[in-house]
Chains A and B, each alone.
Chain A
Amino acid sequence: MGKSVKIRRGLDISLEGKPSTHIHTLSSPTTFAVKPTNFKGLVPKLKVKQGDEVKAGDCLFSDKKNDKICFTSPVSGEVIEIVRGNRRAIIEVKILADSQISYKTFDTTNFASKSPDDIKAILLESGLWPFIVQRPFGTLADPTITPKSIHVSGFDSSPLAPDLGVSLRGQELFIEKGFKILDALCEGNVHLNLNPKKDNTVFKNITNTTVNHFQGPHPSGLVGVQINKVDPINKGDVVWTIKPQHVAFIGKLFETGQLDLEQNIVLAGSEIKEPAYYTSRVGACIDNLLENNCSNDNVRVISGNVLTGDKISTSGYLGFYDNQVTVIPEGDEYELLGWLLPSYPRPTISSSLPISKFLKKKFKVNTNPHGEPRAYVVTGQYEKVMPMDIMPQQLIKAIMAKDLELMENLGIYEVIEEDMALCEFVCTSKINVQQVLSEGLQLMAEES
Chain B
Amino acid sequence: MKFLRNQIDKLKPTFSEGGKLSFLHSTFDAFETFLFVPNHTTKNGAHIRDGIDLKRTMFTVIVAMLPVLLFGLWNVGHQQSLALTGTDGSLFNNFMIGLIQTLPIIIVSYGVGLGIEMAFAQFRGHPVNEGFLVTGMLIPLCMPPDVPLWMVGLATAFSVVIGKEVFGGTGMNLLNPALTARMFLYIGYPTSMSGDAVWTYLPEGSKTVDGYSGATNLGELAAATAEGKSWSDDILSASIMDSFWGNIQGSIGETSVVACLIGAFILIASGIGSWKIMLSTLLGGLFMGWIFNISGATGAYMDMPAYYHLIIGGFMFGAVFMATDPVSAAQTESGKWIYGFLIGLLTVLIRVFNPGYPEGIMMAILLMNVFAPLIDYYVVQSNINKRLKRVNA
Contacts and interface: CB of A to CB of B under 8 A. Distances in A.
B53 A370 contact: yes
A265 B336 CA distance: 45
A393 to B, nearest CB: 7
Contacts of A424: 45-46, 49
Contact of B271 (A330, A337, A351, A417): A351
A330 B270 contact: no
A340 B56 contact: yes
A433 B45 contact: yes
Nearest to A344: B51
Contacts, number: 212
Interface in B325-347: 326-327, 329, 331-333, 336
Given A338-B37, A339-B55, A352-B57, A328 B48 contact: yes
Contact of A333 (B39, B49, B127): B39
B187 interface: no
B37 A339 contact: yes
Given A330-B41, A369-B40, A433-B45, A377 B383 contact: no
B297 interface: no
Given A336-B4, A352-B57, A346 B47 contact: no
Contacts of A311: 47
> What DSSP secondary structure best describes chain A's contact surface?
loop
A62 B326 CA distance: 50
Interface residues of B, number: 59
> What DSSP secondary structure best describes chain B's contact surface?
loop
Nearest to B57: A428
B91 interface: no
Interface string B247-288: 000000000000000000000011110100000000000000
A372 B170 contact: no
B387 interface: yes
B131 interface: yes
21 contacts: A234-B391, A309-B47, A346-B50, A350-B270, A353-B51, A368-B41, A369-B40, A369-B41, A371-B56, A372-B53, A375-B169, A377-B57, A377-B131, A379-B331, A394-B332, A394-B376, A394-B380, A426-B50, A428-B50, A434-B45, A434-B46
Interface of A: 13, 232, 234-236, 300, 302, 306-309, 311, 328, 330-340, 342, 346-353, 356, 365-372, 374-380, 383, 389-391, 393-394, 409-411, 417, 421-422, 424-430, 432-435
Interface of B: 1, 4-5, 33, 35-57, 59-60, 127, 129-131, 168-172, 269-272, 274, 326-327, 329, 331-333, 336, 376, 380, 383-384, 386-388, 390-391
Given A336-B35, A339-B56, A370-B37, 7 more contacts: A13-B48, A311-B47, A332-B41, A334-B36, A336-B1, A369-B42, A428-B50
Closest 3 CB pairs of A and B: A371-B53, A375-B171, A338-B37
